[in-house]
Amino acid sequence: MASDYVDFVLDALADWHRVTSRRMFGGYGLYRQGVMFALIIDDTLYFKVGDSNREAFEQAGSAPFVYHAKGKPVVLSYWQVPPDLFEDSEQLGQWAHEAYQIALRAQALKPVSKASKTKRFQDFDTDNR
């Protein structure tokens, strides 16, 4: 069962596209058509970041998600979404779209095993909203 914050985020993104969530590592991954483009940890939304959108996140004063493993910080390519984006659903959708495009490009660069090909096919959502 999703938290209230996850439900809030899914509702906020509904105008952009159908987004689903899955529990993972104490938080949630957010997916569009089987591609993870965002995560929620401790009631904070993070979008996938790459070269094309990093500057916007930096200018907004955001920071990447960091966790510690074996006593060392691990920095992920997911950055905190500025809270004021929730006030403008169109702008939130634009940032989500860019994060999704970055996630698609990252996924295309990964070698694909037979098992993950099957999983991706099963997860593919044909909803064209």
C-alpha pair distances (Å), 122 with each of 6, 53, 57, 108: 23, 30, 33, 17
Beta-bridged to residue 24, according to DSSP, are 27
Per residue in 3-54, pLDDT tens? 899 999 999 999 999 999 999 988 999 999 999 999 999 999 999 999 999 9
Tokens of 38: 């965002």
CATH of domain 4-123: 3.30.1460.30
Q: Taking 50 as the threshold, does the pLDDT of residue 74 lie above it?
A: yes
Residue matched to tokens 């995560």: 39
Per residue in 84-117, pLDDT tens? 999 999 999 999 999 999 999 998 887 766 655 5
3-state secondary structure of 18: coil
pLDDT of residue 119: 53
Q: Taking 60 as the threshold, does the pLDDT of residue 126 lie above it?
A: no
User: Hey, where are the domains in the chain?
Assistant: 4-123
Predicted model pTM: 0.83
* Burial class, 128, CB count within 10 angstroms (exposed 0-12 / middle 13-18 / buried 19+): exposed
Q: For strand 64-69 and strand 27-32, is the pairing parallel, antiparallel, or unpaired?
A: unpaired
State the pLDDT confidence band at 127, using cuts at 50, 70 and 90.
very low
Say if residues 39 and 31 touch (Cβ distance below 8 Å): no
For residues 71 and 112, the model is more confident at 71
